[in-house]
Amino acid sequence: MEQLMDISHVSYSYHTMQGETPALSNINFTVHKGDFLAIVGPSGCGKSTLLSLLAGLLEPERGSIFLYGQKVSQKGNRTIGYMLQHDHLFEWRTVEKNVLLGLEIQKKLTPERKEDVLGMLKTYGLYKFKDARPSQLSGGMRQRAALIRTLALKPEILLLDEPFSALDYQTRLTVGDDIGSIIKKEGKTAILVTHDLSEAISLGTQVIVLGKRPAGIKAIIPIQFPESASALERRNSPEFKDYFNKIWKELNENE
Ligand code: ADP
Ligand code: MG
C-alpha cells in the first residue's frame, strides 16, 4: 500500500523554567494509506505530544516527519485533520454552520464543497438536525458533527486524540464504533490515541504501544480481522482476548 507518512528517529523535549521534560525518544513508524493506527500508552507518556508533532504544531527536536515526502512544517499542514476530546462545537452556530466552519475559515466554501458536506450530514443521520444548536444533540451526535466538520476539509489523514474519553462508558462504546465505521466508509487514514485497549483493538489495523515517558515504541502489533468485521464483531471474537493480553503484557513489561 502507498506510504503516506514517515516518522523517523523523532525525539522531543519540553523546556520550561523548571527544566527539561523529555517527552518522546526515538520514535519510528510509517503510515500507509487506509491504515487505522491506534496508539496506547500510560497517561502522561507523550501521546498528545506525538500527535501535535504529526500535525505540525510542534517541530521535532531530532528526527523528521514526512507526509507524502514533504516535511510536516510548523506552519501546520492543511491536509491534516485533528479531532480532540472536546468537540469544540459553537453554541451560537447551528449544526450546519458548525460543520461548514472550517471551510468558511479557509475560504474554501464553494457550492460543491457545501453540497458534499450536506451529503455527509444526510448519510450520517444529522441532516434533520442541521438547524439545531449543538446543545440539542446527544454526545454521540456531537462527536459525529465534529467528525463531519473535520472531514469537510478532505484531510489526507485524521488525528484523533482520545475523542471519546469525555463520554460515559456505554455511549463511548457505540460512538467509538460509529465514528470508526464512518472513517472506514470514507476511506480515510487515521491515527487514534486512546488509553482504552478495547477501543484500540476494535478499531485499529495496528496498535502502537508506547512506554513510560520519555515514550519510545515498545511494540507495533498488527490487528487482523476479516475486512467486513464490525467493531462489535471484533469485540466478540475469540482473537480479541489474545490481542488484549498481548498488548496488556507489552504495556506492563518492566514497569
Ligand atoms: P499524554 O497525552 O500521553 O498523557 P502528553 O503528551 O500530554 O502525554 O505529555 C507528555 C509529558 O510532557 C507530560 O509529562 C507533560 O506534563 C509534559 N508536557 C506536556 N505539554 C507540556 C508543555 N506545554 N510544557 C511542558 N511540559 C509539557
Ligand atoms: Mg493526552
Smallest-distance ligand from the CA of 85:
2
Q: Is the omega angle on the peptide bond into residue 214 within 30 degrees of 0, that is, cis?
A: yes
What's the mean pLDDT in 35-59?
93
According to DSSP, the residues that pair with 245 across neighbouring strands are: none
Does residue 142 contact residue 89 with C-beta atoms inside 8 Å?
yes
- Distance (angstroms) between ligand 2 centre and the Cα of 88 equals 17
- Distance (angstroms) between ligand 2 centre and the Cα of 253 equals 21
What's the mean pLDDT in 221-227?
94
Q: Is 80 exceeded by the pLDDT of residue 78?
A: no
Q: Candidates 45, 160, 208: which one to mutate for ligand 1, based on the most atoms within 8 Å of Cβ?
A: 45
* Residue whose C-alpha cell reads 506525538 in the numeric block: 50
Instruction: Please state the pTM of the whole predicted model.
Output: 0.92
Long-range contacts of 181-185, Cβ-Cβ distance < 8 Å, separation of 24 or more: 181/230, 181/231, 182/124, 182/144, 182/147, 182/151, 183/36, 183/147, 183/158, 184/36
- pLDDT recorded at residue 195: 87
Q: All 3 cell numbers of residue 4?
A: 503516506
- 69 vs 223, more confident: 223
Residues in contact with ligand 1 (CB, 6 Å cut-off): 14, 16, 21, 23, 41, 43-49, 213
- 109 vs 255, more confident: 109
Mean pLDDT of the chain: 91
What's the mean pLDDT in 117-137?
95
Confidence of residue 5 (pLDDT cuts 50, 70, 90): very high
* Alpha carbon nearest to ligand 1 atom 14, residue: 44
Specify the ligand 1 atom closest to the Cα of 52: 6
- pLDDT recorded at residue 227: 84
- Lowest mean pLDDT across 36-45, 80-89, 141-150, 229-238: 80-89
Q: Candidates 213, 217, 251: which one to mutate for ligand 1, based on the most atoms within 8 Å of Cβ?
A: 213
- pLDDT recorded at residue 74: 53
What's the mean pLDDT in 110-125?
94
Specify the ligand 1 atom closest to the Cα of 42: 3
Q: Is 90 exceeded by the pLDDT of residue 245?
A: yes
- Distance (angstroms) between ligand 2 centre and the Cα of 92 equals 28
What gap in Å lies between CA 148 and CA 154, rounded to an integer?
A: 10
- pLDDT recorded at residue 249: 95
- Percent of the chain's residues with pLDDT above 90: 66
pLDDT digits (tens, 9 = 90+) for 173-219: 888 888 888 898 888 999 999 989 999 999 999 999 999 888 899 99
Q: Please list, in sequence order, all residues whose beta carbon lies within 8 angstroms of the beta carbon of residue 121, skipping any fewer than 6 positions away.
A: 95, 96, 99, 127, 130, 148
Q: Is 245 helix (H, G, I), strand (E, B) or coil?
A: helix
Q: Candidates 10, 21, 43: which one to mutate for ligand 1, based on the most atoms within 8 Å of Cβ?
A: 21
What's the mean pLDDT in 71-100?
83
